[in-house]
Structure 1
């Protein structure tokens, strides 16, 4: 059962932060003298264990390089690791401001699929993250969306019921996974639509108190974003 708490749980990349910088993987491939398409395929094929904290950056990049039959050495791994972190470092300043403004009317938390070393860099570069009510990075909590464990972590960590959450992500598969745990969900496409959805959800939450919420007329599920 929901309580009277209102928690907006945000995804990071594709919502508050931008997706990987275009051309970044091709640049990394060029550093290794590897075909760009093969490098990108291998980069993603090995990514989930890295995101979920099941392997280190060194283990991840070793697997990528070996899969491409490329030499493995510490300097190359570190060069690729830093280039990778930099490629995921951009934020949408308008969204950052909006997320911070929400703390006047709701609790605000973050759940992101991101390796542990990337998370450390993001926390150092984005001090506003430290002002949120909870921050969960997959590489730190050892669970990555859409696994239910990632959503359960947030509910347990915040001592809240799943129905207290409105989860916002640009990927429909993640939103639907959150819903299976009892959370409310919204597929993000643009700020204006999101703001209207959150305003309506907060008003409905306030009006209904601890009763179940009917958000069927509020939430939309367009096709999953890239």
Structure 2
């Protein structure tokens, strides 16, 4: 079932924002005087509850440090937290401009796996996010992709039908999860390919470029 709306739902990192800054994990590992490989393993192993809003930043970093058998103190946690936020702060300017341009012909929304404190920093630094039709951050909605609840949130919040959405993500497992919910999906590789997909999709929605 569709309500005949056209909603392009973007992932953030790897689509309209850059992936983590190169060398950031090594910098954080050095701060902890631990090997980068061990730090990286702990960083990602402890991440899911933090991304899904089930842990605060101090709780997440405490889990990381304890997994590495390191002492836990507030100063270390705050330094790691701020370095981590900075490492995920880069956007892809051409993709941001393209996403904004789509609002002439479609609704544009965003669904990102990002902890709550990261989301606050991103919203403060990137005012264009406030002009989208809906923004959903996993740490705020308490659900992270590819969990169905993350996609369901967008459907309910936008009062739309799953078929109204074209979900764009650089991770195939997330696109497949969206498709399982009844959304259209595209695995992002580059802007030109995405533009061709959207150009082909919009006419099926009864819309044309102005």
Q: Sort the TM-score into its range (normalised by shorter chain).
A: over 0.9
Write the distance in 1 (CA, Å) between the matches of 2:133 and 2:17.
18
Aligned residues: 207
Counterpart for residue 38 of structure 1: 38
Structure 2 residue runs of 5 or longer lacking an equivalent are: none
Give the 4+ runs in structure 1 shifted more than 3 A: none
Any idea what the Cα deviations from partners look like across 1:167-207, whole Å, max 9, x if unmatched?
Answer: 00000000000000000000000000000100110011117
In structure 2, the partner of 1:160 is: 160
Using the alignment, how far apart are the partners of 1:90 and 1:192 within structure 2?
21
Counterpart of 1:212? none
- Please state whether the residue corresponding to 1:186 is helix, strand or coil: strand
Structure 1 residues without counterparts, runs of 5 or longer: 208-226
Deviation readout 1:122-144 (Å, 9 max, x if unpaired): 00000000000000000000000
Question: What is residue 28 of structure 2 aligned with on the other side?
Answer: 28
Q: Give, in angstroms, the shift of residue 44 of structure 1.
A: 0.1
The correspondence of residues 172-183 of structure 1 with structure 2, limited to 5 A, is 172-183=172-183
CA RMSD across the alignment = 0.6
Partner of 2:18: 18
* Structure-2 separation of matches of 1:199 and 1:153: 26
Residue 65 (structure 2) pairs with residue 79 (structure 1): no
Which residue of structure 1 aligns with residue 111 of structure 2? Answer: 111
Aligned counterparts, 1:100-139, within 5 A: 100-139=100-139
| Equivalence map 1:173-212=2 (5 Å) | 173-206=173-206
Partner residue of 2:140?
Answer: 140
1:3 CA drift (Å): 1.6
In 1: Cα distance, 2:188 partner to 2:116 partner: 25
Taking the aligned partners of 1:55 and 1:111, their CA distance within structure 2 comes to: 19
User: Could you state the TM-score of these two structures normalised by the residue count of structure 1?
Assistant: 0.91
Q: Distance in 2 between matches of 1:185 and 1:205?
A: 15
Residue-by-residue CA offset, 1:136-155 (whole Å, 9 max, x unaligned): 00000000000000000000
